[in-house]
Amino acid sequence: MVLRLLLRYLANNEQLIERMAESYPMRRAAQIVVSMTYRFKNIAQERGLHDMSPERFKSFMEYFRNNLKQEIEGAKQELKKKP
């Protein structure tokens, strides 16, 4: 409850928000987000993912998740093998 009140106060403090928005880390984070958005959009268009049906997208994400899990497990096995 106290945390919620504190966050609400900070979010409504216009001067604090202005100073944070002008800070280098915030500007850089925004630049990175925009850059990644455009990169992913271009990749999706190149691979034809932007016109996928919901079912095909769901199966693609499932395949991606399984592949990611396998890679993580493989990396764990490699780390265990190293002395």
Answer whether residue 15 shows pLDDT above 80: yes
Domain containing residue 33: 1-51
Question: Residues, the chain, total?
Answer: 83
From CA 59, how far away is CA 73, in angstroms rounded? 21
State whether 37 and 57 are in the same domain.
Answer: no
Confirm whether pTM is higher than 0.85.
no
At residue 62, the pLDDT reads 92
Number of domains in the chain: 2
pLDDT at 57: 80
| Number of helices followed by number of strands (H, E) in the chain | 4, 0
The answer on 62 and 37 residing in a single domain is no
Per-residue pLDDT tens digits for 16-59: 989 988 999 999 999 999 999 999 888 888 887 777 788 888 88
Rounded CA gap, 73 and 63, in Å? 15
Q: What is the dihedral of CA 53, 59, 64, 68, to 10 degrees?
A: 160
Mean pLDDT of 54-82: 88
